[in-house]
Amino acid sequence: MTFTAQQIADFLKGEIIGNPNVEVDNFAKIEEGKPRTIAFLSNPKYTHYIYETKADIVLVNNDFIPEKTVSATLIKVPDAYAALASLLDLVNSLTPPKIGIEAMSFVSATAKLDDNIYVGAFAYIGENVQVGKNVKIYPQAYIGDNVKIGNNVVIYAGVKVYHSCIIGDNCILHAGVVVGADGFGFSKQEGVYHKIQQIGNVILEEDVEVGANTTIDRAVMGSTIIRRGVKLDNLIQVAHNCEIGKNTVMAAQVGIAGSTKIGEGCVLGGQVGIGGHITIGNQSQIGAQSGIISNTPEGSEVMGSPAYQIKNYFKSSIIIPKLPDMYRQINVLEKEIKELKKQLS
Amino acid sequence: MTFTAQQIADFLKGEIIGNPNVEVDNFAKIEEGKPRTIAFLSNPKYTHYIYETKADIVLVNNDFIPEKTVSATLIKVPDAYAALASLLDLVNSLTPPKIGIEAMSFVSATAKLDDNIYVGAFAYIGENVQVGKNVKIYPQAYIGDNVKIGNNVVIYAGVKVYHSCIIGDNCILHAGVVVGADGFGFSKQEGVYHKIQQIGNVILEEDVEVGANTTIDRAVMGSTIIRRGVKLDNLIQVAHNCEIGKNTVMAAQVGIAGSTKIGEGCVLGGQVGIGGHITIGNQSQIGAQSGIISNTPEGSEVMGSPAYQIKNYFKSSIIIPKLPDMYRQINVLEKEIKELKKQLS
Amino acid sequence: MTFTAQQIADFLKGEIIGNPNVEVDNFAKIEEGKPRTIAFLSNPKYTHYIYETKADIVLVNNDFIPEKTVSATLIKVPDAYAALASLLDLVNSLTPPKIGIEAMSFVSATAKLDDNIYVGAFAYIGENVQVGKNVKIYPQAYIGDNVKIGNNVVIYAGVKVYHSCIIGDNCILHAGVVVGADGFGFSKQEGVYHKIQQIGNVILEEDVEVGANTTIDRAVMGSTIIRRGVKLDNLIQVAHNCEIGKNTVMAAQVGIAGSTKIGEGCVLGGQVGIGGHITIGNQSQIGAQSGIISNTPEGSEVMGSPAYQIKNYFKSSIIIPKLPDMYRQINVLEKEIKELKKQLS
């Protein structure tokens, strides 16, 4: 697949600065650009690379004005990062999609599959499962009884969806994801834990993406709910009866305990832990590795374990390595004051 | 499945306050109660919901005395939470259990399966495997050579049990669990790591439940042992040669390094990390996100990274955001003392 | 498999102190030694066990001189731990290796498999896959289209390798590992996240071992690269476009955000988190649960979240539980100084 700068500029409706006939056949990051690649410049921190990159084409924002000679052909667009995303979409769409039901799969007689479906070998589709149009179910995926899957869903290899869960339109579940395993619920009697049956389910609304090996537990009663547009990275734990608000994103290895409600438009850094029965307000930002043990209001920006205001967090973090000095200093001051008191009395 | 308050009260041996003929066909949390649902009240924090819930029946403890009118029919029982658990058990038992060996499974000729077994399609049962009565092995599970599985065990879709491991009676392993992968053992020679073969195994005693995508490594020699009644949540790491004592529970994403021994009846919060070759005393409680780097005595209650007494932990946590102020304050005091000394001399 | 002390000493080229005819048929840790087992003593912390162990043979370093009577036969070798590793290798090599292609596997017509291969039942090998010599692909593993696998690779049950990734010679991937799932990349427009297609891949060089349920994401463009000799424990997250240097090891549950570069010969403790676009110098040591938010120079030894010098870390950690006392103390000093000033004026 070879494209000229002219073809790319036409596709993106961008403006060419340089040679419109230069050809590329691959992408590269600007700092790793090679001949016959196209790179992009969006983060100003990377601007200096544009003067040395070997990439033949660089996508830049309309307001970019070079301060030195640039050997690459530039294509100016309103948003270089979005333009790159469009090009990646284009390239991705050129891979012929998987289609058809491979022979060694298991599709229950009572399952209903809509048009234009892929079911890979060794995938298992249980009783009364409903699957929408244009769905791809990769090899070794497991779809338990009574699961409903919307349109345009992609379920990668080895995903496990327990019975009665619901997966909305356009969701993407990466390899190893487990949706609907039992929540962690026990009653303790004389030191021994007895299982509380978990008879609820999990609902993923539309446009949810779930990263590899992430786990979302079924509710004890009712539903664990992941709202529209939520994006979860890898190895995240969402416990039973949680609700994650629209367009909230979480980096890898976050853990959310049971019955916690996270608002809309929140951003959680990696390895954050949130206690049970907590409410996180809309548009909250929670720094990586934070521990949340109480409700946070809308628009909170917090960090630390336990978490507090992020601007104070970094100030305190600078002091912590100085604590041994502070400790000694206080004890010196204490002695000096004693001495002063003695002198005065 | 519709039940009247009378039927439920008879089953639970409870006392009805209200209409014995009201019917329900689903469960609900008290704060989300709808008509035709049954809810429960156990945590006093939720008491106010009982006056506004739309649930038609609420299970309450014998000592509950309403302070206002309650529209729901009440059923009084000694322990509302335990009564709910019994009802959930009842409902769960009404789902017809999986049974039989599905055609596209692989069962080695040398494997011995006892009565009343389910083996799902694409499950793999290796050589000389022994499986007890009433065991369910869901699709795509892998049971390596020489594994022994007790009675009444449930192994969900995609679980992997490496060779020679032992799974006791009544254990439940959720999807994506890996039992018996190699421990992380290497000898370093001239900067290069060489693998130490891990020839031990993993033993789960009776009544152990293991959450989705949790990993328990095989011992280098001997056994990694999970004692009777242990409950592990999702995405936990148990390293080689660990031993987890009876009736200990761990929340999600805990990590235990090699050769560590955890006592009986302990409770570990989410994302706790415990170093290698450490002993945790019986009945210890370890707060979420704690890091444990030394032995802890029986009955410890600790938190923090590194962990210390939990009651001190919360006191110190309140001070940490004030550190920048303390730092300034100390420096001001130091100057003032200098000034005082000058005046005095 | 029974061996005499003489046979073992001959194999290891060691010196026997005691009875050369004593027989063993199993390994044991020195503190758990039983008759007919062989143990080893390497860590001086365990020396006292040698006087009470029931093991019949103990491997010791050449410089070990007993201070009391030892009932076990000793075998002296230059490095007892390395000698043990050799014996474990020997025992491991006695298990007949898996070989052949099991009937219910799926091997694409366009895949090329070299000699001496094992492909387990329900394993899936996609189009144009290349597999080297002596490779073992266990049941239910998934090898996506266009993947290249070197020689002597072991891919355990249920591993998922997405399309176009490259696995070098001698790599070992444990059950549940996911290589090449999409990196976590979105562009945000009016509060909604749009997927950036991830068209790169993952490259594992030679001699890499990856622990159970670890995830390594594919690059947005170019490659996520794991260099020769890297050892990753279980449940680790490596994000898109990361590069992990030669012979670096990471304990379980570490998380590395996107585009971060880790040097050679580094050691990362469990549950460490490293931010995106960061560079970690060669030979760095990062303590468990640390959070890294800025570049670290070669040879760093850091701990904490955010991390600082490890020697200061432990000093500060001792002070943190004393913070409430310090806080009170400062306020007392402040009052006393006020009092002194009053007296002086």
Q: Are C199 and C180 in contact (CB under 8 A)?
A: no
Distance CA C296, CA C309 (A): 11
The alpha-carbon radius of gyration of chain A (Å, integer) is 27
Among the partner-chain residues A85, A102, A175, the one whose CB lies closest to the CB of C194 is A85
Q: CB distance B253–A255 less than 8 Å? A: yes
Residue type, B82: A
How far from each other are the two terminal CA atoms of chain B, in whole angstroms?
91
The tokens describing B233, both together, are 């949540």
Residue A23: CB atoms within 10 A of its CB come to 16
Residue of B nearest to A145 (CA): B98
**By the CB < 8 Å criterion, does B293 face chain A?**
no
Q: Which residues of chain A neighbour C122 with C-beta distances below 8 Å?
A: 122, 140
Instruction: Give the distance from CA A14 to its chain's centroid.
Output: 30
Distance CA A108, CA A111 (A): 5
Question: Chains meeting A at 3+ CB pairs closer than 8 A?
Answer: B, C
Residue B236: exposure state from Cβ atoms within 10 A (0-12, 13-18, ≥19): buried
Q: Are B224 and B203 in contact (CB under 8 A)?
A: yes
Residue A327: exposure state from Cβ atoms within 10 A (0-12, 13-18, ≥19): buried
How far from each other are the two terminal CA atoms of chain A, in whole angstroms?
91
Q: Of these residues, B174, B194, B240, B277, which one is catalytic? A: B240
Question: For the residues of B25-84, what is the DSSP string, one character each?
Answer: -EE--GGG--TTEEEEE-SGGGGGGGGT---SEEEEETT---SS---SEEEEES-HHHHH
Q: Of these residues, C48, C194, C240, C277, which one is catalytic? A: C240
Among the partner-chain residues C29, C104, C233, the one whose CB lies closest to the CB of B222 is C29
A-C interface: how many C-beta pairs under 8 angstroms? Answer: 191
Distance CA B134, CA B155 (A): 11
Work out the average pLDDT over C242-255.
98
Helix/strand/coil (H, E, C) string of B202-241?
EEECCCCEECCCCEEECCCCCEEEECCCCEECCCCEECCC
**By the CB < 8 Å criterion, does C82 face chain B?**
yes
- pLDDT tens sequence across A265-293: 999 999 999 999 999 999 999 999 999 99
Q: What share of chain B is helix, strand, coil (3-state, %, to 5)?
A: 20, 30, 50
Give the residue from C196, C250, C253 with the most A CB atoms within 10 Å of its CB, the best one to mutate.
C196
Per-residue pLDDT of chain A (345 residues; tens, 9 = 90+): 799 999 999 999 999 999 999 999 999 989 889 999 999 998 888 999 999 999 999 999 999 999 999 999 999 999 999 899 999 999 888 888 899 999 999 999 999 999 999 999 999 999 999 999 999 999 999 999 999 999 999 999 999 999 999 999 999 999 999 999 999 999 999 999 999 999 999 999 999 999 999 999 999 999 999 999 999 999 999 999 999 999 999 999 999 999 999 999 999 999 999 999 999 999 999 999 999 999 999 999 999 999 999 999 999 999 999 999 999 999 999 999 999 988 887
Residue type, C334: E
- pLDDT tens sequence across B9-21: 999 999 999 999 9
Among the partner-chain residues B316, B318, B337, the one whose CB lies closest to the CB of C337 is B337
Instruction: Give the distance from CA A272 to its chain's centroid.
Output: 13
Question: For the residues of B284-336, what is the DSSP string, one character each?
Answer: -EE-TT-EE-S-B-TT-EEEETTEEEHHHHHHHHHHGGGHHHHHHHHHHHHHH
Give the residue from B42, B323, B335 with the most A CB atoms within 10 Å of its CB, the best one to mutate.
B323
Work out the average pLDDT over B328-343.
92
Q: CB distance A142–B121 less than 8 Å? A: no
Among the partner-chain residues B144, B215, B308, the one whose CB lies closest to the CB of C321 is B308
List the 114-153 stretch of A: residues with Cβ below 8 A of B.
122, 124, 140, 142, 144
Who contacts A265 (Cβ-Cβ below 8 Å, separation ≥6)? A245, A246, A247, A248, A282, A283, C191
Which of B1-5, B57-61, B211-215, C229-233 has the weakest average pLDDT?
B1-5
The tokens describing A19, both together, are 């040679």
**By the CB < 8 Å criterion, does C234 face chain A?**
no
The tokens describing B208, both together, are 């152990």
The tokens describing B264, both together, are 């009986």
**By the CB < 8 Å criterion, does A29 face chain C?**
yes
Q: What is the pTM of this model?
A: 0.96
Sign of the dihedral defined by the CA atoms of residues C157, C158, C163, C167, in that order = negative
Who contacts A190 (Cβ-Cβ below 8 Å, separation ≥6)? none
Residue of C nearest to B302 (CA): C321
- pLDDT tens sequence across C63-92: 999 999 999 999 999 999 989 999 999 988
Among candidate residues B200, B240, B233, the one with its CA nearest the CA of residue B217: B240
Among the partner-chain residues C184, C235, C291, the one whose CB lies closest to the CB of A289 is C291
ipTM over 0.85: yes
List the 163-222 stretch of B: residues with Cβ below 8 A of C.
176, 178, 181-182, 184, 186-187, 189, 191-199, 213, 215, 217, 220-222
